[in-house]
A = this chain, B = another copy of it.
């Protein structure tokens, strides 16, 4: 048997397409791949290893027990309905939506941080929020060395985090503004995004924070397994196509110099340090788009805390922030032999 039977739900979306291409790029051992989507995309074809794969319509009878792993990226309501159906058939579900992330018994996994929470019987696995993934990749190795007490993060999130239609909306508005000076009313975003900023990602809760901001707060604590961590977040949409950026300030329980933090991060798998500011070298969203690593720069002693550090963290939100992290979780399931080529 050559490999595993993989399925991708939401295969035609911005993240779903990357799940398919990353499985191929990384040589994930696949025996077969099935792609699922809604009515709108069913019947279209997506290339996998040079072969067109026809996208199947997702319906309650879609899944068969011979599938080993399903990657989901089709929104929380699809996950809520379909992930349990798959799990009941013994299929591992790696779900990119927010649906299951904060459920007590659902592993919320960043492979570089908490691979140990995976278990053979835990069929539904949650892929964290994009902004959270890139932040914990940088904070976790530091937290292990010197305990982090407090995190203050402001994000600069690209439109691709809101899907393919959001990318088109930025393109269309930009063209319309540069050619005619006006735009049609926005559809995806609550306001104009071209040449503008929107301090709202997802909807607002009663505490004045958006769901996106509270995901960063709650998911970071769960992944880092430290509920004493004090975190606050401000999430802002910016007119960038791909890559989320973050200005992060942390208070530490003891001293850690910027040099020590940099050398720790340089030896951290999945993290790349770009930090020669005087040569204007630091991570930039346009350069990071398409890359797998989490990039960090502007590592410096924070000026407001006795023991503090500040960082500028950038990652491709569609790759490490979503599709790549999900594929890495699938790789872990194989490595840990929770799925086996000899299952049937």
Binding site for B on A (CB under 8 A): 150-152, 154, 156, 171, 174-175, 178, 190-192, 195-200, 203-204, 207-210, 217, 230-234, 236, 238-241, 245, 247, 249, 258, 277-278, 280, 282-286, 297-305, 308, 310, 312
Contact = CB atoms under 8 A, between A and B. Distances in A.
Main secondary structure on chain A at its contact with chain B? Answer: mixed
11 contacts: A151-B304, A152-B249, A152-B304, A156-B156, A174-B178, A191-B286, A192-B286, A199-B312, A231-B303, A232-B302, A234-B310
A83 to B, nearest CB: 30
B238 A285 contact: no
* A192, A302, A303 — most chain B CB neighbours (10 Å): A303
B208 A258 contact: yes
A200 B249 contact: no
Contacts of A297: 199
Contacts of A239: 195, 238-240
A303 B208 CA distance: 11
Contacts of A302: 232
A209 to B, nearest CB: 7
A280 B249 contact: no
A228 to B, nearest CB: 12
A232 B204 CA distance: 27
Given A191-B280, A200-B280, A249-B152, A208 B300 contact: yes
A85 to B, nearest CB: 34
A148 to B, nearest CB: 11
The 9 nearest A-B residue pairs measured at CB = A208-B300, A154-B154, A154-B247, A232-B304, A190-B280, A232-B303, A234-B247, A230-B304, A204-B277
A90 B107 CA distance: 72
